[in-house]
């Protein structure tokens, strides 16, 4: 039994598709299929039910998946301890980012990491929240900032800050907006963002709780576009409260007063990387940057 076989098993189970799992693991689909087949032969059980167009865990696969995840976590801890024993931490750390770097306090994080780990090659890659989450969950990305209702179950994470979002509209909507209910709000034109972005996830969840869908007329992958398009009179959008309130005071837009959407900004990383020295260092720097209490040593 090899670690790469267990990683293939866990990755396919999490993603639920061979092609995307192979992409995440940076190998070919036949290689993933072969690794899983070899693992099944060694274990003497079938892990997946393979049918045209789909692959799903068998009952044996469901029972063995948590054990495989524990083995990978233990292997990650072992590698982390070994690197600590080698002295200076080197290699690379790739961090996924989203949106406003200042809001993430990214500069302070990177500055602290460079000072603490001068031999570490640090890179950032921007993306949408759910795309980054999947990359972290499958260990194809070492860490990322994430915004959502909570920290996803398939990763570990450090909560950083609760962020509030407000429904904003052009100034010309003032009279009909202030007295509108959920149905009227949903029917008004909306400025959306890509499906995997945190803003779009929050927007979908907000309306789904009311049994409604927003009337989206425009989608933009520019993080600053919703603000400017609302001011231009195109439609409504979700906007961070720290941006919405000052803009409303300047009479650049109007805030719908009947709801506030809460989200959590967190720093997420794979379960297998809990003891990785670079991740441990990043978490320590983040706690300092965000004024969070230090972590408690394990009992």
Give the residue, 164 or 272, on which the prediction is more confident.
164
Beta strands 254-255 and 156-169, pairing class = antiparallel
> Do residue 259 and residue 172 come from a single domain?
yes
Decide which of 30, 52, 85 is a domain's last residue: 85
Decide which of 47, 62, 85 is a domain's last residue: 85
Distance between CA atoms of residues 59 and 255, nearest Å: 50
What does the pLDDT average to over 246-253? 95
If one counts every other C-beta atom within 10 angstroms of the C-beta of residue 299, the result is: 3
In this prediction, residue 264 carries a pLDDT of 95
In this prediction, residue 89 carries a pLDDT of 62
Instruction: Provide the token pair at 58.
Output: 């068998």
Decide which of 85, 108, 123 is a domain's last residue: 85
- The sign of the torsion formed by the CA atoms of 138, 142, 148, 151 equals positive
In this prediction, residue 83 carries a pLDDT of 59
102: part of which helix (H) or strand (E)?
Answer: helix 101-104
> Do residue 33 and residue 62 come from a single domain?
yes
2, 26 Cβ separation under 8 angstroms: no
In this prediction, residue 84 carries a pLDDT of 56
DSSP sequence for 70-94: HHHHHHHHHHHHHHHHTSS--SEEE
Who contacts 103 (Cβ-Cβ below 8 Å, separation ≥6)?
240, 265
Distance between CA atoms of residues 216 and 203, nearest Å: 11
Please state which of the ranges 37-41, 89-93, 173-177, 236-240 shows the lowest mean pLDDT.
89-93
Q: What is the greatest pairwise CA distance in the chain?
A: 69
In this prediction, residue 81 carries a pLDDT of 64
What does the pLDDT average to over 230-236? 94
> Do residue 203 and residue 76 come from a single domain?
no
Q: How confident is the model at residue 299 (pLDDT cuts 50, 70, 90)?
A: very low
Check pLDDT > 50 for residue 85: no
Per the structure, how many domains does the chain have? Answer: 3
In this prediction, residue 16 carries a pLDDT of 83
Identify which of 111, 139, 152, 133 has the alpha carbon closest to the alpha carbon of residue 285.
111
> Do residue 167 and residue 252 come from a single domain?
yes
Q: How confident is the model at residue 291 (pLDDT cuts 50, 70, 90)?
A: very high
Instruction: Provide the token pair at 73.
Output: 């976590």
- The sign of the torsion formed by the CA atoms of 36, 4, 69, 131 equals negative
148, 98 Cβ separation under 8 angstroms: no
Q: How confident is the model at residue 298 (pLDDT cuts 50, 70, 90)?
A: very low
CATH of the domain at 103: 3.40.190.10
Check pLDDT > 80 for residue 1: no
204: Cα separation from own chain's centroid: 16
Domain hosting 192: range is: 162-263
Distance between CA atoms of residues 112 and 118, nearest Å: 10
Phi and psi angles of residue 57, each rounded to the nearest 5 degrees, phi first = -65, 140
């Amino acid at each position: 039994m090899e670690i790469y076989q267990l990683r293939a098993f866990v990755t396919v189970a999490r993603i639920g598709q061979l092609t995307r799992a192979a992409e995440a693991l940076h190998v070919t689909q036949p290689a993933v299929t072969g690794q899983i087949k070899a693992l099944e032969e060694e274990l003497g059980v079938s892990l997946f039910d393979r049918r045209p167009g789909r692959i799903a865990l068998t009952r044996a696969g469901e029972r063995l998946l948590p054990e495989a995840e524990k083995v990978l976590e233990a292997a990650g801890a072992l590698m982390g301890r070994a690197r600590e024993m080698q002295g200076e931490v080197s290699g690379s750390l790739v961090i996924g980012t989203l949106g406003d770097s200042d809001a993430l306090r990214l500069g302070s994080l990177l500055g602290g990491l460079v000072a603490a780990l001068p031999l570490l090659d640090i890179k950032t890659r921007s993306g949408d929240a759910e795309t980054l989450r999947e990359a972290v969950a499958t260990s194809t990305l070492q860490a990322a900032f994430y915004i959502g209702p909570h920290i996803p179950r398939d990763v570990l994470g450090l909560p950083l800050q609760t962020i509030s979002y407000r429904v904003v509209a052009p100034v010309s909507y003032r009279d009909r907006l202030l007295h509108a209910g959920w149905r009227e709000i949903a029917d008004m034109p909306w400025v959306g963002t890509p499906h995997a972005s945190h803003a779009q996830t929050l927007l979908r969840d907000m309306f789904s709780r009311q049994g409604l869908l927003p009337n989206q007329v425009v989608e933009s992958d520019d993080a600053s576009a919703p603000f400017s398009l609302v001011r231009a009179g195109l439609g409504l959008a979700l906007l961070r409260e720290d941006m919405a309130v000052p803009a409303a005071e300047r009479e650049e837009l109007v805030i719908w007063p009947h709801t506030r959407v809460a989200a959590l900004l967190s720093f997420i990383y794979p379960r297998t990387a809990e003891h990785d020295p670079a991740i441990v260092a990043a978490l320590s720097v983040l706690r300092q940057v965000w004024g969070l209490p230090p972590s408690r040593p394990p009992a």
